[in-house]
With several copies, the nearest count.
Chain A
Amino acid sequence: MVTRMQPDLSVRIGKLDLAYPTLMGSGCYGSGAEFEPFVDLARIGGVVLKSVTRAPRLGNPTPRLVHTPAGMLNAIGLQNPGIAWYLAHDVAKFASRPCKVIGSVAGFSVDDYAVVCEQLAARDEIHAIELNISCPNVASEGETFACDPRLTARVVRAARATTGKTLIVKLSPNVTDIAAIAREAEAAGADALAVVNTVRGMAIDVDAWHPRLGNVTGGLSGPAIRPIAVLAVYEVARAVKIPIVGQGGIETVTDALEFFLAGASAISIGTANFTDPRVPETIVDGLSEYLARRKLASIRDIVGRANLGFANAYQFEGDEG
């Protein structure tokens, strides 16, 4: 009998070593504990915690969720207890998670991000920091940062100055040119990029004549946005050298592979956990199997390999575009 090598699924994102290339998306997975009855957290790479802000926030009025074709809209509005309470009451519990724990920081000013990032990164229970500069669901400037190259640069520089821990910057798809923003974030010191946050959207109740979300607009996630997210990863991968955490509508191993091939070094699973909590383990099993079938040693061997072009592409003489 031949002993089969188990393919290597580990990846490195900045200084963060992940046993599996699968993170659970911020805001979708609580602090991980909520899903422990259904999933073996030791078989995922890590959990990105719900975004935390400087002051406590009660979030948006309900309804905060609407189901849409192959996706959903959410407008939670960053409900969270604020960094002081969080540090005092919540963070200590994260030490017992059998996977990596990544803090997520949101804010309304450059200073907000710097303050929360510094305090959170100082804690041993937190293995890396994600900067959520792309939340579409807060009334004020929540998303402005990721929609403006200069603001992106300023907020990333300020956060970078506060910690040596791995800094992942989460980008918005709601921009004309995501590659330009990605380059700014890299230049300002980001260790990695999370691509992408939700796509802005809206649904209307045609009986009641009002928006279906309490916040009027929300963020679209799930399989509906996967083609948008895959392209964002593909474009960002061509613009920067730092690793990418791909996300947006990943449900199956095939979906996950699209992101790796587009250029992601790791992936993040959000909405699919709401459909079936077994998805993260199914994807990890599927990745192992895919690599074994193709006799590849590591998941790292497929990152960014979707650029082989077409055998059958034709060129006409005289065709202009």
Chain B
Amino acid sequence: MPTLSTGERVHVTKIVDRRTPAADVVVLGVRAPQLARFAKPGQFVMVVPPAGEVASVALGIYEAQGDRMSVLFFVSGKRTTELARLQEGDELTITGPLGNGFFLDDAPSEVGIVAGGVGVASVLTSAQELLKNGCRVQLYYGARTQERLVDMDLFARAGCEVHAATDDGSFGYRGVVTDLLARAARPPRLLLACGPSPMLRAVARVAAEIDIPAQLSLEETFACGVGGCWGCVVPIVRTSAQAPSFPPAVLGGSDVVNARVCKEGPVFWAHELRW
């Protein structure tokens, strides 16, 4: 049997709590000591779907504390519908933690976190870690309506400054969250972002405009989640520390390679992406 100092392995867990912070949004908490212990901010897990659906579901690690970790997901398709049916006491098999999380080691003292929709699931642990290290953390959180802005209090209680935006103006700024970010009175010195692809592209633009670095947690359809199938790639510049061992190709004048979002990511520096 392989012995793993990282705690990467298959975890047969039990659901210890379940809540629905918004319509079609579910948080499942499980007892999983190894997972909770080894998870780094921004990493994800693969959740084995109950009822025989094909392919595990990639979900961010929402909370990780003591014996417990949780996932937060939007009920969008077959597999998340099946996951949403699970109740306290049910078993859930999870592999992970997987991927590289956010790079927080040399984080500056003022960090902005941008979350869109269920992207919020992948940033709470980063906020907690940064706050613990004495950072000032601003959360820019966007959603369609007020009801979909879930768990803002968790972030506020942890010590974040929360700036919210909704498409319909039902809470906070009316418009997209990146507009709110672009108007920030005191811009942060590093951005971490997770959300739908158009939001991430906008974050990259704003970051370039105000000239600060940004780390983006990408989403792609996964199959294996561990780097085995090359299904989840994104082109990045060859010089990146995360570039896989591959001969380069030329795209728009730079040397690029297709990196796996699950293995070399899911977090990439905005300036490295050639998407």
Direct contact of A and B (CB under 8 A): yes
Complex interface bits, A110-152 against B, C-beta within 8 A gives 1, otherwise 0:
0000000000000000000000000000000000000000000
Closest residue of B by beta carbon distance from A270:
B229
Q: A307 within 8 Å of B by Cβ?
A: no
Q: B4 within 8 Å of A by Cβ?
A: yes
Q: A174 within 8 Å of B by Cβ?
A: no
Tell me how far the C-beta of A107 lies from the nearest C-beta in chain B, rounded to whole angstroms: 17
Residue from the list B10, B77, B246 in contact with A67, Cβ < 8 A: B77
Residue from the list A27, A64, A82, A271 in contact with B55, Cβ < 8 A: A271
Is B249's CB under 8 angstroms from A318's CB?
yes
Given A58-B258, A274-B54, verify A81-B246 contact (CB < 8 Å). yes
Bound Cα distance A70, B55 (Å): 9
Closest residue of B by beta carbon distance from A40:
B1
Q: A72 within 8 Å of B by Cβ?
A: yes
Complex interface bits, B240-271 against A, C-beta within 8 A gives 1, otherwise 0:
00000111011100001110000100000000
Given A40-B2, A63-B221, A275-B55, verify A56-B246 contact (CB < 8 Å). yes
Q: Which residues of A contact B56 (CB under 8 A)?
A: 274-276
Q: A207 within 8 Å of B by Cβ?
A: no
Bound Cα distance A81, B95 (Å): 28
Q: B28 within 8 Å of A by Cβ?
A: no
Report the interface size class on chain B: 35 or more
Q: B234 within 8 Å of A by Cβ?
A: yes
Closest residue of A by beta carbon distance from B256:
A316
Closest residue of B by beta carbon distance from A30:
B228
Residue from the list A34, A72, A317 in contact with B250, Cβ < 8 A: A317
Query: How many A residues, CB 8 Å from partner?
Result: 48
Q: Which residues of A contact B228 (CB under 8 A)?
A: 28-30, 34-35, 273
Is B226's CB under 8 angstroms from A35's CB?
yes
Residue from the list A36, A276, A317 in contact with B251, Cβ < 8 A: A317
Given A62-B233, A63-B220, A74-B223, verify A318-B8 contact (CB < 8 Å). no
Is A74's CB under 8 angstroms from B245's CB?
no
Q: B213 within 8 Å of A by Cβ?
A: no
Closest residue of B by beta carbon distance from A312:
B275
Tell me how far the C-beta of A212 lies from the nearest C-beta in chain B, rounded to whole angstroms: 9
Q: Which residues of B contact A56 (CB under 8 A)?
A: 246-247, 249
Q: Pick the most buried of A29, A63, A66, A79: most chain B CB atoms within 10 A of its CB.
A: A79
Q: B19 within 8 Å of A by Cβ?
A: no
Interface residues of B in 1-33 (CB under 8 A from A): 1-2, 4, 6, 8-10
Interface residues of A in 166-181 (CB under 8 A from B): none
Q: A76 within 8 Å of B by Cβ?
A: yes
Residue from the list A37, A69, A81, A275 in contact with B49, Cβ < 8 A: A275
Q: Which residues of A contact B233 (CB under 8 A)?
A: 59, 62, 64, 79
Bound Cα distance A85, B244 (Å): 13
Q: A38 within 8 Å of B by Cβ?
A: yes
Complex interface bits, A198-236 against B, C-beta within 8 A gives 1, otherwise 0:
000000000000000000000000110000000000000
Q: Which residues of A contact B275 (CB under 8 A)?
A: 312, 314
Residue from the list A35, A62, A71 in contact with B234, Cβ < 8 A: A62
Bound Cα distance A314, B223 (Å): 21
Is A274's CB under 8 angstroms from B4's CB?
no
Tell me how far the C-beta of B145 lies from the nearest C-beta in chain A, rounded to whole angstroms: 19
Bound Cα distance A71, B53 (Å): 8
Q: B62 within 8 Å of A by Cβ?
A: no
Q: A278 within 8 Å of B by Cβ?
A: yes
Interface residues of B in 48-91 (CB under 8 A from A): 48-49, 52-56, 77-79
Q: B235 within 8 Å of A by Cβ?
A: yes
Q: B117 within 8 Å of A by Cβ?
A: no
Q: Which residues of B contact A38 (CB under 8 A)?
A: 8-10, 95, 226
**Top 6 nearest A-B pairs by Cβ distance?**
A30-B228, A65-B231, A37-B8, A34-B228, A65-B221, A274-B223
**A residues bordering B, Cβ < 8 Å?**
27-30, 34-38, 40, 50, 56, 58-59, 62-67, 69-72, 74, 76, 79, 81-82, 85, 89-90, 222-223, 251, 271, 273-278, 312, 314, 316-319
A-B contact pairs, 17 of them (CB 8 A): A28-B223, A30-B228, A34-B224, A37-B6, A38-B226, A40-B2, A58-B235, A74-B229, A76-B229, A81-B245, A274-B56, A274-B223, A274-B224, A277-B10, A314-B235, A314-B251, A317-B250
**B residues bordering A, Cβ < 8 Å?**
1-2, 4, 6, 8-10, 48-49, 52-56, 77-79, 93, 95, 220-235, 245-247, 249-251, 256-258, 263, 275
Given A38-B95, A63-B221, A90-B245, 6 extra CB contacts under 8 A: A58-B235, A62-B220, A65-B222, A65-B229, A274-B223, A274-B229
